[in-house]
Structure formats: C-alpha cells, structure tokens
Structure 1
C-alpha cells in the first residue's frame, strides 16, 4: 500500500508528533526532569528564570507567527522551529553552562511556538474534513501525548541507570525522528507565485470579542504555568508525598490525551464558550487541591484535573479563535497565544518570589486560582454580549 501524505490520518499523526517535539521535548519534559536537576545542578530560583525565559521565547514566536504571510513561509518556519527544539534539547544534555541554558531555553520556546501555533494552523488548513472541530480535537491530543511520551522516555533513561543529561540526549534523538516525519507530511505542493495564498496583517481582526478572548487566554496562560512548571515539586513538598510528584505529572499527561476529543465534542454540542467556562472552573479546583490536602488520591485528581483542563483549553481556545478568523487562522492563533505566553512569563517569576518569601507554594496557588477566575468572568461576558460566540463551536 502506497503511503498517502495527504490523508487525514497522516496529517493528524504528523501534527501530533510535531506537538510531541515542540511541546513535549522542548517544553514540558523540563518539568519532568526538574526534581532531578534541582537535586543536582540548579536552584529553584534559576528554574523559575529558565521557565520564564522559555515562555518568553514562546511569546516571541507567537507574536512572530502573526506576521508570517504566505503558506510556504509558514512551512519553512515550522520546520525551523522543529529543528530548534531538537538542537536546544541536545545542548542541555552536553553542557551545564548557565548562559547556554538561558539561550537554549529561549530558542526552544520560539521553536515550540512554531510547532504549536504555526503547525496547528498548517494542520487545520491541510485537513480534508467537513467537521474540523472534531479533527482538531484529535490533533490536540498531541499535547497529552507530549507529556506522556517524554515522561516515559525520561523514566526509561533513569531505569537503565542514566541521569538527566542522558535523558535530554535521548529525548533529542527521538525528537529528531518525529520531526522528520512531521516536516515531510506538513507541507504544500508548490504553486505559481500568483496563486500563493498570502495572509495580510489586518487590524480589523482585533474585534472586541477577539480582544476579550485574548485577555481570557492570558489568564489561562497564568493558570497553567504554575503547575506546568512546579507540579512534581509541589507534590513532593507535601507531607508524606515525597517522590510522588512524578506519578502525578504522568497523570497529567494521561488525563490530557482523551481530554481534547472529549472537550471538543462537548463544545460541538453545547458551544465552546460554555465548555471553556466549565473547564476553567475545574482547573481552579485542581490548582487549589494541594493547598488543603496531602492525600495522594486527591493530588492525583489535581494532576488529572490540570491535564484534562489545560490541554483541553488550548484546543478550545485555538479552535474557537480559528473559527472567529477562519480566513487566516494563524493570525488569531498567534495573537491569543501571545497573550497566553505573556501570562506564562509572569507566573513563574511571581511564583518564585512568593515561594522564597513564604517557603510554601500555597500563596502562589491562591493568586493563580484568582487570576483564572477572572478569565471565567471574561468568558461569561462574551457569552452574554456577543452573538458570534453562539456560532463558534
């Protein structure tokens, strides 16, 4: 049977693997490896700085993606982003130079934005489907797979006697293999220059509903990054749960894999805004659980709530924004992701300051939950004041 790279299955697999490289290898595996690195090489303060730098790179890439005009440029920068993700992960395995780490975490963040924002837009444009909401739900399962696959690879390295440097090298190797497949499939055949679709920068796309959506996604950026950066260490710091943080983080990924399909199906039936409000409410519960319970079951639920909601919310916001601006989905995806990235930069910095002042994660978690609650209020306002919200599923 001949391989058909134009089939929806090939396109979705390529999109999922691109997310494993860009989101897993370049971003979330840092969380998996953080406890080992904290014991061996870096301080919690430097870990927060590295996280913020990575998210700053992600923000830069998200903003940059808004101005990529034609589809072939999108493909070029998508491939460049995958290459950056692999190279930067390899660099972390061969040096402990703090300057190199700062630079590579920034570049990895930029590459992650190319893989997620630009890559997702390419997938949306290439899919031959009458119901792209459900298809994109399958694509965004890659966010959950990115956590699970990279975490299992890391655990395999440790199981066979390796250390965190070895883990970075192994992850870079697998990332290179995945990136090759994604780069091969997610491309467009050359057309005459007059036929190339170009997307111009259009200020009119920043409608009031788009601005409110951008602000709401900013709060979600804050909401996800605290647990995305510190969750294993948060759990390990609780009485009686030392060493359990890795299992809770694995629960995050496992809960995230089916969540996109589930949330997108619910959005198709009940409306994206309604489902986003529910998901953000559940996320608040997950954020607050470690502040009042050191029960392992409760904290596994915290991880599952987090994984199921933050991954689902990425899919919901990206799909909702893409439908609002269906003629140029990468534009609005880049805009809302830029706000998300800005929230991700701020959150690790205030968290580190609060952790060092109070010697506890609780104040940071309380503030984070409050910010997510503000996002719910913004979405509620959109729901009752903009008719466009009713037509975007």
Structure 2
C-alpha cells in the first residue's frame, strides 16, 4: 500500500517528513472514539441497573455518577485545545486514551461515592478531549478525496462501542460486576495500544486563530447553530443515560431486555454517521439538520407513550443513529457557514463542542434530579428531551427567517 505523508499537504502537493499510512491514522481515530465515548461513557448505561442491583450505590447516586461523565466531557472539551497548543496533539491523544482506560479499570472497585465520581469525571474529560482533537488531527493529514470516508469511520467507533457494550456487558456480568469493569478496561487498553503508533506526529497549523475567529464566529447563524447543537445534546440525554434503566426498572422487563435495546441503539449509532453524511450530500447540511431534528424529536418522545417492543426498537435505533450522526452534520454546517476559512472552522467546532458538552452535562444532572424527586417518572424525561430538540428546530427556522429578512432589506 502506498504511504502518504502525515503532515498537511502544501500548495505544491508535497507533504511533511512524517510518514504514516492513512488507514492507520483513521484506525487511531476510530479507536479513540470507541474508547473515549463508546466504552468510557456508553458502557455505563447497561451497567447502571446492575450497579443498583448489586447495591454498590443507590439509584439516585448511580444516576448522578452517570452524569459525572458528562461533566467531565465538558472539562475535556474546554481544555483540549489549550493542551494541544502546548503539547503535540498525538501526546495529548495518547494520554487521553490511557486515562479513559485506567478510569474504566478503577471503577471495578467501588471504594466510595467520591472515588467513583472522580474516575467517572476523569473518563468524561478524556472522552471530551478525544472528541475535540481526534478527528481534526487525523483528517488534516488524510488526502482530501478520502476525508469523507475517514470521518464516517472515525465516528462509527462510537456506535461500535455502544453495540459492544450492549453485547459484552451481559456476558461479562455472568462473571460479576467487578469482572465486567475489568474486562472493559482491558479492551480499552488493547485499543489504546492498537492506536498508539497511528497518530500523526505533526500538529495542524493553528496560526492566527484569534485573528480570524472573532470576526467570523459572531455571525447570527453560527450562534444559532451553537444553540441548536447544545439543545440537541440535552435532548439525547434521556436515551443516553436512562434507556436501559427505563426498560429494566421502569418497565420491569429485566437486564437482558434492557441490554437488547441498548444493542439496537448501538446498531443505529454504527450506521448513523454514514447515513447522515449521505443525506447531507444529497440535500445539503442545513436541510439535513432540520430532518434530523424532526426525526429525533419524534423518536425521543416515543417511550413516553408507547412501550411496545416495536416502538421501543424504532426509538432506540433512530436516537442511536443520530447520537453520533448529528456530529458530521454540524461539522458540515460549520464548514458551510465559514467557507474558505479552515482555521476558523476548527475554532468554531471547538466552541460548538463546548456548548454541546455544557448543556448535556446540565441536562444530565437536571434529569437525574427530576427522576429522583418524581419517584421514577421516566416519561417526564422523554417529554423534556423531545422539547429540547423541537426548540433547536424552532431556532434554526427563526435564524433562517431572520437572515432572509436581512437579505431582503439590503
């Protein structure tokens, strides 16, 4: 196989001295999303009822521990770019994958609520760092005609992690809850080792970010996109954290049934990025986002009033598909709004990810609080999630109407 240079191509088509196979860089990004999000975050969902059942923590405490990962994700999203400006991105990425793996292993010992909370927080920070840095680091060093496919492969790692956690967790739980955490940790460490040499050594050019971004990032539509992406994040929380618990304890259908729906969620997540990207290629990123909002709002609210197996499968699959599938749509929309400004696009993506993480963490804690105080009213969570995504659609339509009005007045 032909080797490509790891660095960005210059205006003559030449490249930097570092050699790396494109598929190895893409594989590293895939492993990063699989470890940082697929395992470190989403494996907790099918484990939540088992943690409560084993009396490691109460139902309320277990829900708050799930939200701790989202708070850490926000921290990681905020610190990722500063870290990468002082260290090589591949060094930060390697450390983040190691931290996520160690955090999973540490959760095998429920020493105390504080211990567990700290490690769940650190796993989230690692995931946030990986989310902000992995794809841009890899895609900058991939030939332009292969970046679309590479992007889809990278984000498919999230879905594979979800599906893997839904199938592996029930099997590992036969050996014990502690053994389950240890098994997931060993898997994460193996993937970290697999990705270790695949990261490009040279950092993308980030010069003059502050000179470009303030002038461009203040556009009305970009601010609206930040708000939409954050609200979409909040709308995904009921399924991301409480889906399995809802099936197991809310519907009293058992852990095996809950894990099955989580596998369906993961299968949706595996194909979501590719399907959403294909949709955007056909109808444009702006229109594709609106379609995504409508489909998500409808799918999120389904468990509030329809709990038959068929409806729950539809809900799990669609929400699962858009959990990672919304990412390439927002990335593409940012590129549309900031055409010909690659540096500004990277900075805007960091801002969008921070907003996503912020509202997702707030929503996670708020919904955990509401579930605890309402005596287990899961329907309320799904109604609120659907309302958040519907509001994102309203903001998008209002932003477009405002822009049309401004253009008409010129």
Aligned to 1:102: 117
Work out whether residues 152 and 273 of structure 2, in 8 Å CA contact, stay in contact via their aligned partners in 1.
Answer: yes
Q: Give 1:367's match in structure 2, choosing from 384, 391, 403.
A: 384
List runs of 5+ in structure 2 lacking aligned partners: 5-18, 405-410
Aligned to 1:390: none
List runs of 5+ in structure 1 lacking aligned partners: 388-393
- Name the SS for the 2:238 alignment partner: helix
Aligned to 1:277: 290
> Could you tell me how far 1:204 is from its partner in structure 2?
2.9
> Could you tell me how far 1:107 is from its partner in structure 2?
0.9
Cα displacement string for residues 114-147 of structure 1 (whole angstroms, at most 9, x for unaligned residues): 2111111112212112263443123211121121
- Name the SS for the 1:96 alignment partner: coil
- Name the SS for the 1:93 alignment partner: coil
> Could you tell me how far 1:245 is from its partner in structure 2?
1.4
In 2, the alpha carbon distance for the partners of 1:206 and 1:212 equals 11
Aligned to 1:47: 62
Work out whether residues 134 and 265 of structure 1, in 8 Å CA contact, stay in contact via their aligned partners in 2.
Answer: no
Q: How many residues align?
A: 381
Aligned to 2:23: 9
> Could you tell me how far 1:385 is from its partner in structure 2?
5.2
Q: Give 1:255's match in structure 2, choosing from 268, 271, 275.
A: 268
Q: Where does 1:1-393 land on structure 2 (aligned, <5 Å)? A: 6-40=20-54, 41-68=56-83, 70=85, 73-130=88-145, 132-158=147-173, 161-189=174-202, 198=207, 200-201=209-210, 202-208=213-219, 209-239=221-251, 241-243=253-255, 244-321=257-334, 324=338, 326-327=342-343, 329-359=345-375, 360-384=377-401
Q: TM-score, normalised by structure 2?
A: 0.86
Work out whether residues 8 and 127 of structure 1, in 8 Å CA contact, stay in contact via their aligned partners in 2.
Answer: yes
Q: TM-score, normalised by structure 1?
A: 0.89
In 2, the alpha carbon distance for the partners of 1:329 and 1:149 equals 33
Which structure is larger by alpha-carbon Rg, 1 or 2? 2
In 1, the alpha carbon distance for the partners of 2:46 and 2:222 equals 34
Work out whether residues 226 and 347 of structure 1, in 8 Å CA contact, stay in contact via their aligned partners in 2.
Answer: no
Query: CA RMSD for the aligned pairs?
Result: 2.4
Cα displacement string for residues 264-316 of structure 1 (whole angstroms, at most 9, x for unaligned residues): 01111211121111112111122111111121111111101111122211232
Cα displacement string for residues 231-280 of structure 1 (whole angstroms, at most 9, x for unaligned residues): 00112245463442111111000111112111101111211121111112
